[in-house]
Structure 1
Amino acid sequence: MAKPIRIGIIGSGGIAHAHIRQYKQIADVEIVAVADVIPGKAQQFVESLSLTDAQAFDSHRAMLELDLDGVSICTPNVSHHVTTVDALRAGKQVLLEKPMSVTLDEAIDMVQASKETGNMLTIGFQPRYDPNMKLVGDIVQSGKLGKVYYVETGGGRRRGMPGGTFISKALAGAGAMADIGCYSLDMALNALGYPRPLTVSAFTSNHFGTNPIHHPQASQFEVEDFGVALVRFENDLVLQFKISWAMHMDTLGSTMFLGSEGGLKVNPFGKGNWSGVWDGKVGDITLFHDFMGQQTSTPVPGIEHDKDLFFEKVRDFVDAVREGRPAPIPGEQILIQQAIIDGVLRSAEQRREVEIKLPY
């Protein structure tokens, strides 16, 4: 009989409930502890979910003194850095919810802690587990498009602004860019093999979030609800990145990869106010190319599946812990998109193009 994987949860908000649901479906996994900085909240969480064998803590550091194989970090963005570094240095394997961090310096510190301790840091991007998302990457990496020189990605909700910790600059660090923009970036950058960014020129605004007609917490809204950026990479590649929590438009368009030999168009999945971002499945995929001297387009057959992508993310983490495998979605990769988001926010604030400096 396999030795149970002992899991602790840091943070007991909404996303922690999603993690608990997935862990409960995996054999030989025990939720043994929950920590939350708000006194009594972890205990209430444990009782509400009938986690009879789990201990509750008001300090994540106290929880990390337990014998744990891994932890899920489900705190507000501002706490990602300290909880991750503490967990890694306490000898735990870490599944961290997106976005990775608030600042680039924090992300660098987190990756460094993972390298120094030899403990895993994986970031929670469940769309990676959609077979069609993998198909997009396979097509781009196949060389079918030739030299990829331009990529356009991002997404927009006609309406879909969150509240609470998501709109507090002190707790979230950023708004739409970090919340849903990170999904768009991961989709494009992962397909491209995470190239090295050089510069970014960006603009952000919050016309909807600060308007009481559109948001009930308008007076507390401190982050961007829209952003657009032009990112330059090594090897003569440029990416246009755009994201919106709310807008007077039905869509910000498809994700596109333009290459010297072909182009790939990927439509977003779903309909309605809260759709149009790359936080789950993908829609239609079309390859544009020449054939026998003629311009043509080929629909790429989608892969039918009924996978629960969030479950696949959590299960992959558990399997990696159990088998001693590397991080499924390593922090070293996501650090690159964190550098881009950091550059977007700096550029928008300074109203000019800025350089992106990576530590390696």
Structure 2
Amino acid sequence: MSSRRAFLQKMAASALVVPAVSMMKAAAYPQAVNSVYDGPMLRVAIMGLGSYGSRVAEALLSCRAAKLVGVISGTPSKVKEWQAKYNIPEKNCYNYENFDRIKDNQDIDAVYVITPNALHKDQSIRVAKAGKHVICEKPMAVNAVEAQQMVDACKKANVKLLIGYRMHFEPKTLEIVRMRNAGDFGKILFFQGLSGFKIGDPGEWRLNKQLAGGGAMMDIGIYSINGARYMVGEDPVWVTAQEVKTDPIKFKEGVDETITFQLGFANGALASCLSTYAMNNLDRFFLNGEKGFAELLPATGYGPIKGHTHLGELTQPHVTHQTLQMDEMSAIILKGKKPLVPVDGEEGVKDMKIVDAIFEAVKTGKKVDLKL
């Protein structure tokens, strides 16, 4: 396993040695994957060994400053499979009943919670009480009240809580943020976020309100909510929203199919966004200012992200998002690094407050004021 890891690290490093790297602004681009690293290593256990957990595990093989050392799952067969695949010792394997025992395991620094949304709060709080740092996949909870409880529990336990906002480390995204901060777009006027795909299996947990907390908004719509905030560079102060449901059998009560929503910002900027489980080919961000614009298409997929601004094409190289994310989160947890775009629990609470307000606006048909 160590030889495979070394090979992957060398390949990742060589792939990044291209002219485009030297042209990028250092402040906007996380440190590239490098074959030489002698700093601290974040030792991570993954909770939830589904498809996304597998994606994170594979990405960790290429990380410089983070590695997979443990698993938590309710499926014994998956635990055995991961043990063999990733060389995980038996003492670092847990199930959902006994994972509180990680408190006594000095080989695990953090747990990445990648389970259905409704389980995040309780599982994250248990991890925090066990004295381990928490990385929780988004959305961090099913509402803002639960999200704040997670933040409070982690503060009480003196551990960090980070949310799996992988796009906050994506190079093209960060270049747009850097350009906005530098004033290249002038006053920001408008943002559009389109987030959606046509969901298949009607029996999957994402269409179960008890597990997901909703429908498309809790899965894909969160990208446009969060994207509006980091692209505009402010938090919204009001929201309006409208829901359309064409298939009430697949999308039962409390499970949204399609929601359009609008956000207003204190500086006068507006955002118009779409969240849907009923349409494909929707993954676009567009930012417009008085002096220029930026577009990402695709904007949030696993990559490569593509984009351009009024100054030309964005050429930052693609690196696996989860690899960048985990290396940067290692630096945040172990070195106290401050990311250009926050990924802490407070950031996640803000998104959940907006989600709550969107659902309220759909229900009431009224504009809902936001206090983030």
Range of TM-score over shorter length: 0.7 to 0.9
CA separation of 1:244 and 1:309: change in aligned 2, threshold 3 A: same
1:258-284 Cα shifts (integer Å, max 9, x gaps): 33x224141412xxxxxx755644333
Q: Is the 8 A contact 1:31 1:51 kept in 2?
A: no
1:229 aligns with 2:239: no
CA separation of 1:41 and 1:234: change in aligned 2, threshold 3 A: farther
1:55 corresponds to: 93
1:286 corresponds to: 309
Counterpart secondary structure, 1:170: helix
Report how far residue 155 of structure 1 moved: 2.6
Q: Which moved more, 1:107-116 or 1:41-50?
A: 41-50
Say which of 58, 62, 79 aligns to 1:25.
62
Q: Is the 8 A contact 1:165 1:172 kept in 2?
A: yes
Q: What letter corresponds to residue 58 of structure 2 in structure 1? A: R
1:331 corresponds to: 345
The alignment's C-alpha RMSD in Å is 3.0
1:112 aligns with 2:142: no
2:15 corresponds to: none
Report how far residue 4 of structure 1 moved: 5.5
Unaligned runs of 5+ in 1: 212-217, 270-275, 288-297
Say which of 314, 331, 350 aligns to 1:319.
331
Q: Which moved more, 1:195-204 or 1:55-64?
A: 55-64
Unaligned runs of 5+ in 2: 1-37
Q: What letter corresponds to residue 239 of structure 1 in structure 2? A: A
Alpha-carbon distance between aligned partners in 1 of 2:76 and 2:113, rounded to the nearest angstrom: 18
| TM-score of the pair, normalised by structure 2 | 0.77
Q: What letter corresponds to residue 309 of structure 2 in structure 1? A: T
Aligned length: 328
Q: Is the 8 A contact 1:343 1:354 kept in 2?
A: yes
Report how far residue 233 of structure 1 moved: 2.6
Q: What letter corresponds to residue 61 of structure 2 in structure 1? A: K
Q: Which moved more, 1:131-140 or 1:141-150?
A: 141-150
| TM-score of the pair, normalised by structure 1 | 0.79
1:10 aligns with 2:18: no
Counterpart secondary structure, 1:230: strand
1:262 aligns with 2:291: yes
Counterpart secondary structure, 1:152: strand
Counterpart secondary structure, 1:240: strand
1:340 aligns with 2:363: no
Alpha-carbon distance between aligned partners in 1 of 2:309 and 2:230, rounded to the nearest angstrom: 19
Give percent identity, aligned residues only: 22
Alpha-carbon distance between aligned partners in 2 of 1:282 and 1:7, rounded to the nearest angstrom: 27
Say which of 288, 292, 310 aligns to 2:322.
310
1:290 corresponds to: none
Say which of 108, 112, 117 aligns to 1:72.
112
CA separation of 1:334 and 1:58: change in aligned 2, threshold 3 A: closer
Alpha-carbon distance between aligned partners in 2 of 1:278 and 1:22, rounded to the nearest angstrom: 15
Alpha-carbon distance between aligned partners in 1 of 2:296 and 2:67, rounded to the nearest angstrom: 39
CA separation of 1:116 and 1:263: change in aligned 2, threshold 3 A: farther
1:200 aligns with 2:229: no
Alpha-carbon distance between aligned partners in 2 of 1:85 and 1:98, rounded to the nearest angstrom: 15
1:240 aligns with 2:254: no
Q: Which moved more, 1:51-60 or 1:73-82?
A: 51-60
Alpha-carbon distance between aligned partners in 1 of 2:153 and 2:191, rounded to the nearest angstrom: 32
Answer 1 or 2: which has greater helix percent: 2
Q: Which moved more, 1:334-343 or 1:168-177?
A: 334-343
CA separation of 1:117 and 1:280: change in aligned 2, threshold 3 A: farther
Q: Is the 8 A contact 2:259 2:274 kept in 1?
A: yes
Alpha-carbon distance between aligned partners in 2 of 1:346 and 1:56, rounded to the nearest angstrom: 39
Q: Is the 8 A contact 2:170 2:324 kept in 1?
A: no
CA separation of 1:138 and 1:281: change in aligned 2, threshold 3 A: farther
1:40 corresponds to: 76
Q: Which moved more, 1:170-179 or 1:311-320?
A: 311-320
Report how far residue 111 of structure 1 moved: 2.3
CA separation of 1:324 and 1:283: change in aligned 2, threshold 3 A: closer
